[in-house]
Structures are given as structure tokens and as C-alpha cells.
Amino acid sequence: MSALLSGLLTKLRLHTTPAVLTASLAVLVVTLLACGSETAPTATSAPLAPPPTATAVPPGFVPDLALPSKELLGGGSPQKFIQVFDEGRVNSSFRPTGEFAAAANPLAEGEKLKVGIIFVGSQRDLGWNQAAAAGADYVEQTLPDIEVIRAENIPETVEVQAVAEQMIRDGATIVIPTSFGYSDPTKAILEKHPEIVFLHLGDLEIYENYGSFFANIWQLEYAAGRAAGKTTKSNKLGFIAAFPIPSSMLNINAFHLGAQSVNPDVETTVVFTSDWCDPGKQVTAVKTMTDAGVDVLSLQQDCTKTVIEAAERAGVWVTGFHYDASAAAPNYWITGATWNWGPIMAQVIHEIRTGVYQSSVKLAGIEAGWAKLAPFGESVPEETQKLVLDAVEGLRDGSISPFTGPIYDQDGEIRIAEGETATDEYLQGVDWLVQGVVGRTN
């Protein structure tokens, strides 16, 4: 599987010279969705209030879409943000979407373009689904002629096909199945709906009417790992993952390497729950970790609320993932790696409806702002915060490169040779754990 993913991404060759931006960028500042309760909202739950009006653009420049500010991108660069779109278009072998329904079918006066978004869990899970829901809110705020149709708690089975089909019958011309396990069932219905554009968050295989986008959020896991390595007293860290898929393996490795960079004596114990959101398994995993002496936890679960609240009750420090869940652990929250889907969703949808989008994988580092660091907890010392922020800055400008060899796996086998730096293509297919991580994928 990893070899296939790596090969597919290599073929895409995302790292060619980008088109140069010749226009100034307008600034748009939007407040993202705040943390909510875990209670699932209705599919028609109201988004946030409309965002502030974008600032004026230079004379003579008429932008198609006001691009997000550096502040909204968590310090990322608007130039880097849009550069990835230019690269994707240049390297795509597929025709533009001008003939697809979203661009070809004119809207009647007052009619909105419908976008269907499918969630594997609750939109209030303080995790993957809430981050994607915040992105959907941003789309509706930024593009007022867009209506988002939502369906949540849909399993990673053929059921997602039925939901997508219903959305299409309801008028959706763009469908976004957000979960990892939605990819194969969705691809099975692409030929049936050649006029519909499907978008996935993270798939590396694309078709004419199926593209994806993703960020190197592992970079922020590395930064959070630094905080964990500095915070631990027992030198025992824990990582609760769902499945041993490449993105999870990469995040575990990055977290441990970050911790090891400030504390060479740490070890990271990993547990796979074989479920994205099972609260019983999550509570059991936390107890297993704490009973073993772990005093700092991280995770890659879709629904993070249960793990983070259990860590708070146990008096164990925690770094979050997907979404800012600091409210769930007011005393033991450190920081976290979070998604910033709104701007990228809005830009892709805008390109589709204007007929210029070409199916591609858009993969960006944190310098583009598609993922950003969560706020620090109130009890996190300034020294620890500085270690993390220095890491983020170094990862942005390239002065820090965690996956430069020599790097060994759990069995002592060299995986990245001395002096070599792993490429994005290689990292997106990682199927091994670094030395110092305890626990097996089987």
C-alpha cells in the first residue's frame, strides 16, 4: 500500500517551479468556528455570522476571490497558499472543470451552488470532523452563493455512496467525502457521475472528476513533540492512534523525533484502537498508558474529546490533534496540531465553479497555512512555548528538517541514510516507526 501511494504521488510531481503571482492579494479575516459540545448538531445547523468585509485592493486589480490573510493562515504565507494551486494546475493532466456541472450549469437568480460534505463522526467532536465542519462554515461565509449540504456519522462503507447519491439528487454538483475510508467507495461511483466533482481530504490517487488536498500537519506534530519532551518527568510519552495508516505512522514518528530533539531519553508508547471514535477503547487506552507511567499523551483519533478529557481527569498532560480542544483540558492542555481547511476548501470550490480547476493532489507544508498550531495552555512555561515556536519557524523556513538521516526504525534498520532528507513523496508512504517508539502496528 505504501509503495503504491508513494508511486502515485511521485507521478504527480508536485514540486515543480510555481507560477509567479503578479497581482496583489486582498485580505480577508474570518473568525473560525469555536469549540462546541460533543452533541451532534442537525445537518442544517447555522454557520457563524458573516465575516468582515475584505480590505480594499490596489487600483486596477479585481480579484476573483479575496485570499485569506497571514493571520487567518496561522502565520502561513498567502503567496505560498496560492502557489500550490498554481502548481497543481500546471502539473495536472486533466481538463479544466469548465464543462462540469458546477461551472457549466448557470444558476438562476437567487439560486446557490450546492456542495455536499460527508463526515464520519459528529461535527462537534473536537477533532477531525469539527475541523472539517469549521471549513464548511468558512466556505458559506466567504462564498455567499454556496450552500453546504451536510451529513454526519456516516460509516466508512458503501453507505457513503448512498449519501453522496442523495446529495447529488438534492442538487449538489461538488461532493466532499472527508474521511480516509471514504476514498475507495467514492471512487467506485465516479464514472456514474462524470459531471460531478468529488474532492477528498488526503487521497493521493486522482481522476478527472476526483481531486484532493492535504497539509503536512506532521510538522506541527514535531513541534508539539518538543513540548512533550520538555514537559515529561517520567520520560514516558504515549500516542493513541486509530489505524497504522501512513499518515498516522508519519505523525507518530514526527512527534517522537520532536520530543527526542529536546530530551534524548524519552520513549513513546503507541496504541492502535482500530477505530476512529470509539470512546470505550479511547478511555481504556488512556488508562493503559497512565498505568504504565506515561505522563504526556498525544493522539490521532477523529474524535478527540474523550481522550483529552480522560487525560485531564488523570492529571496527564496532552497535546491535541485536528482541532483546538483546549477547553476540554484547562489544566493539562499543552498545545496541538490543527487543520485550517476553510481557506483551501473555499479556493478549490471557487476554482471549480469558475471552470479553471484541474484535478490534482494539492499538498502543502505549514508555510501555506493549511494547518496551524493550537493555542498554548495557561500552565505551559514560556521556555517550552519558545521551543515549540522556534520549531514551527524552523520548519516553515526549512532550517529544521526532522527527517534528515541517519534515522533508524524500531528494529535498528537504517531507513533514511546519513545526510539524506526524506522527500514528501517518501514520507506520505511511511509504513515503519522510528527507533524509540514502543508498540507494534500488528
Domains and CATH numbers, the chain: 25-215+340-372 (3.40.50.2300), 218-338+403-438 (3.40.50.2300)
The CA distance from 188 to 317, in Å, is: 43
For residues 375-384, average pLDDT: 98
For residues 173-196, average pLDDT: 97
Is 185's pLDDT higher than 80? yes
Place of cell 485569506: 68
Query: Residue 414 has which C-alpha cell?
Result: 537504517
Backbone angles phi, psi at 267, to 5 degrees: -130, 150
pTM, to two decimals: 0.84
Per-residue DSSP letters for 137-178?
Answer: HHHHHH-TTEEEEEE-S--SSTHHHHHHHHHHHTTEEEEEE-
Is 42's pLDDT higher than 80? no
Question: Which DSSP symbol is given to 409?
Answer: B
What is the per-residue burial (b if ≥16 Cβ within 10 Å, else e) of 47-70?
eeeebeebeeeeeeeeeebbbbbe
Q: Is 429 helix (H, G, I), strand (E, B) or coil?
A: coil
| Distances, alpha carbon 5 to alpha carbons 160, 307, 361, in Å | 22, 30, 12
Task: Tell how far CA 98 is from the center of its chain.
Answer: 28
For residues 94-115, average pLDDT: 94
pLDDT band at 68 (very low <50, low <70, confident <90, very high): confident
Residue type, 78: P
Residues sharing a CB contact under 8 Å with residue 177, sequence separation 6 or more, in sequence order: 118, 160, 164, 183, 185, 186, 198, 200
Strands 333-339 and 371-373, by their bridges, are antiparallel
With the CA atoms of 357, 322, 301 and 389 taken in that order, what torsion angle do they form, in degrees rounded to the nearest 10?
130
pLDDT tens, position by position, 388-439: 999 999 999 999 999 999 999 999 999 999 999 999 999 999 999 999 999 9
For residues 291-318, average pLDDT: 98
The CA distance from 182 to 120, in Å, is: 9
Is 46's pLDDT higher than 70? no
The CA distance from 433 to 143, in Å, is: 42
In terms of residues, how long is the chain?
442
